[in-house]
Structure 1
Amino acid sequence: MNDLRQLRHFVALAEHSHFARAAEAVHLSQPALSRSIQALESSLGCNLVDRHSRGFSLTAHGQLVLEHARRLLAGSRALSNAVSQLGNLASGELHLGAGPYPAARLVPQAMGRFAERFPRVRMQLLIDNWQQLRTRLLDDEIELFVADTRELAADPRLRVEPLQEHPGVLFCHPLHPLLQRSALSMQDLLEYPLAGTQLPDAVADALRQTAGVNEFLSIQCDNFMVLKELVSSSRVLSMAPWDVIAHDVQAGRLALLRLSGLPGMATSAYGIVSRAGHSLSPAAEQWQQIVRQQDRDSVIPTLTLPRG
């Protein structure tokens, strides 16, 4: 292979699962795309796709090549970005990731600051749980991310920089029936559905032991904006770090619950995560600095828990 075009064509075919749609995506005719895939198979000495009456499927070799092709293409993009940004930040792309809670406040605020300073750099943000973000980072699909780091700190492949901690809180609709009770127990809480993002193992285990149930969450969703809307329009309960709902509570859109006789909920564990031993692009370096500054500058209303 003299360049990465054949790999790009193959990745497009795998992602679109259709020759015509893939050809359109890479601006080729369908016969030209077929010839490119055949040339790639010839150069590698193996079949990448099994063609049949209903279309095609990837062979075992195809699955392996797809995995490596994505990494090579991501590396090529990263190299181009780093070179184009070396002299200045007047161009290029920045691929970022964020966990559900940082994506609800800290990350968009930092993105706004970055966009004001470097308006010609295009940003792409992936929101997901920490497990998927780690995979995307190690596959070079994103350059760094901000997320819960409890399950990541011991991974030698990662560089983790902790950010501010925020207390965890339980919240509900401002007219929720539980707010009328003078003291709440875990059994009171279990009368209603509880929604949340994917929990770190340590947090999930502690909650399961405290509640005495195998599955603590009734609804799991890694989009926190969806969770807030769910809570604000129903009797579903949820939990989150204080910083992402503080202004909603202050404005009366959400309310806090307190469980009597139980320890406080875990604090957040946000951190900036990148690959250990890898240099960041100039854009990513600037982004990291802005996240740090935004984290220090953030003004969060004081947490005042209801009596109970």
Structure 2
Amino acid sequence: MTDLRQLRHFVAVAEHGHFARAAAAINLSQPALSRSIQALEANLGCNLFDRGARNITLTAHGQLVLEHARRLLAGSRALHNAVSQLGNLQAGELRLGAGPYPAARLIPIALGELARRYPKVRVQLLIEDWASLRRRLLNENIELFVADCRELRDDPLLSVEPLRVRPMLFFCRPGHPLLALAEPSAADIAAYSLAATQLPEDGARRLQETLGREPLPDIQCDNFMVLKELVRQSDVISFAPEDVLTSALVGGELATLPPREVLPRKGSAYGLVSRAGHSLSPAAQALRALIFAGDVVAQ
């Protein structure tokens, strides 16, 4: 019978592509790791790896087993977390994701309060685009995420809870040539490189229609801190929700570009996303409540 230990060993080898590196990563001798993989192959009745002189690759059976192994291990981890968290969240682990904009303000506020209330809960936060976070959620690598949910609202596999809409602003560095214009037009703005995070399909289309050129953005980056520094150090422009820009605007690091009406969308479309039909762990429930509480306070 296949056990979780063998599956962990198999995933380690698959991810490292090398027995010696995998053995070192999981603190196991290479002969012991090889025996574990051989036992797993014998139990399943198939070869999981094509073994070359210098590296190894997954067989078709190996690819299938890897997909299921990751889900089984994630399920085992979720069960362990749920049991360990039962009773005042004195232990356990929470894995969540966030898009670049929620990760810049909303999520840090909620996580800070979670850490204050439940200091023994370990948290792993992944900051990625909404499409990548969806894949991680369905593969059970994370339990929930907050990101742009425009492309996710009709997905039957997901539970999407919309959050408050935040006004979007174009921003640039202080002293940018566009600031000398009383009311920069779409054509004026389109003359400069535009940096942004990954956009939903409809958002990218409307932005291209508004500025009259494509493809956009010219520079795609899903790290808001990098985007902000890029804009601060150059004539590149970008746009973001008003709440994540507030401190930089007040401190004079950045400036906004009027008029707001040039923007191709009314505002942000954050949503809290989890798997449909799956209950959240106690830690995830606590964080969800804090996110919604922070979302109301920020109005």
Alignment of 1:215-254 (within 5 A): 215-254=215-254
User: Is 1:82 the counterpart of 2:49 in the alignment?
Assistant: no
Match of 2:91 in 1: 91
Match of 2:162 in 1: 162
Alignment of 1:192-203 (within 5 A): 192-203=192-203
Offset of 1:286 from its aligned partner? Answer: 0.6
Alignment of 1:168-207 (within 5 A): 168-207=168-207
For 1:86 and 1:237, the matched residues in 2 are separated by 48
Match of 2:141 in 1: 141
Match of 1:152 in 2: 152
User: Is 1:64 the counterpart of 2:64 in the alignment?
Assistant: yes
* CA 1:262–1:26: 2 relative to 1, 3 Å: closer
**1:257 corresponds to which letter in structure 2?**
L
Alignment of 1:105-116 (within 5 A): 105-116=105-116
Aligned residue pairs total 299
**2:152 corresponds to which letter in structure 1?**
L
Offset of 1:212 from its aligned partner? Answer: 2.6
Deviations 1:150-194 (A, max 9, x none): 111101111111111111110000111111122312222122111
Decide whether the 8 Å contact of 1:186 with 1:259 is kept in 2. no
SS at match of 2:62: helix
Deviations 1:202-229 (A, max 9, x none): 1111111222323021100111111001
% identical equivalent positions: 62
Decide whether the 8 Å contact of 2:41 with 2:48 is kept in 1. yes
**1:213 corresponds to which letter in structure 2?**
R
Decide whether the 8 Å contact of 2:208 with 2:215 is kept in 1. yes
Match of 1:4 in 2: 4
Decide whether the 8 Å contact of 1:193 with 1:219 is kept in 2. yes
For 2:213 and 2:269, the matched residues in 1 are separated by 25
Offset of 1:28 from its aligned partner? Answer: 0.9
Offset of 1:243 from its aligned partner? Answer: 1.0
Consecutive unaligned residues in structure 2, runs of 5 or more:
none
For 1:95 and 1:146, the matched residues in 2 are separated by 12
* CA 1:88–1:116: 2 relative to 1, 3 Å: same
**2:136 corresponds to which letter in structure 1?**
R
SS at match of 2:154: coil
Alignment of 1:289-308 (within 5 A): 289-298=289-298
For 1:281 and 1:153, the matched residues in 2 are separated by 22
* CA 1:23–1:135: 2 relative to 1, 3 Å: same
* CA 1:71–1:34: 2 relative to 1, 3 Å: same
Query: TM-score scaled to structure 2, two decimals?
Result: 0.96
* CA 1:85–1:232: 2 relative to 1, 3 Å: same
* CA 1:103–1:114: 2 relative to 1, 3 Å: same
Query: TM-score scaled to structure 1, two decimals?
Result: 0.94
Offset of 1:263 from its aligned partner? Answer: 5.9
64-73 vs 255-264, greater mean Cα deviation: 255-264
For 2:159 and 2:147, the matched residues in 1 are separated by 13
Deviations 1:215-247 (A, max 9, x none): 021100111111001111111101111111022
SS at match of 1:42: helix
Deviations 1:229-277 (A, max 9, x none): 1111111101111111022112211001125874664300111111111
* CA 1:53–1:72: 2 relative to 1, 3 Å: same
**2:41 corresponds to which letter in structure 1?**
E
* CA 1:253–1:261: 2 relative to 1, 3 Å: closer
User: Is 1:42 the counterpart of 2:42 in the alignment?
Assistant: yes
Offset of 1:297 from its aligned partner? Answer: 1.6
SS at match of 1:245: helix
Match of 1:256 in 2: 256
Offset of 1:16 from its aligned partner? Answer: 1.6
RMSD: 1.4
Decide whether the 8 Å contact of 2:2 with 2:40 is kept in 1. no
For 1:265 and 1:202, the matched residues in 2 are separated by 10
SS at match of 1:71: helix
**2:45 corresponds to which letter in structure 1?**
G
